[in-house]
Amino acid sequence: MIETLTALILAGGRSSRMGYDKATIMLDGMSLLDRAIDLAHQAGATSITILGRPDHPLGVADNIQYGGPARAISAWASGLQKPTQALVIPIDMPLLTPEILSLLIKEDSGGYFEGHYLPFTAHVHPGTAPDAQRIQDLLRIFGVRKLTLEGTLLDKFTNINDPQALKKLLALQTRE
């Protein structure tokens, strides 16, 4: 039986399209990294690991710097000592909510939403050390179930990858 929920926060990318570290972007008085940590706590994570952040107290270095999220998750999985439910949260989706994540968490086989490989949950067992280069491959290897997403929730999957996306998000928030 899997009793732990470990949040894996993906924070190790180059942020080349943004031009600076996305983890430091401030939104409503919190950095995107702090928002992701807070979201993980609200979703019920019993532990949090920040992939690609060896300088953070909760962080670990990527085994291949800038090798991508799938490789970082694979490296994490290779060190597991007991079965774990992983909740994978990207740093650059600041509108995700605990309610959305709970839909994934309660899936027995893990889950992701159709059209969005991130976030996802997966039940990962020791000895599962996939050498995946793409998130889609991990989802298949871990046996994660594809879920249908309600249209009203689509805006919560806004991804902040470049200055234009950030500007658009900030403009929307000012209107609200």
Q: List the end-to-end C-alpha distance of the chain, in Å, as a whole number.
A: 43
Do 142 and 124 contact (CB within 8 A), yes or no? yes
Domains identified in the chain and CATH numbers: 5-175 (3.90.550.10)
Taking only the tens place, the pLDDT of each residue in 71-116 is 999 999 999 999 999 999 999 999 999 999 999 999 999 999 999 9
The secondary structure of residue 46, as a DSSP letter, is S
Helices (H), ranges, the chain: 32-42, 69-78, 98-105, 135-142, 163-175
**pLDDT reading at 162 higher than 60:** yes
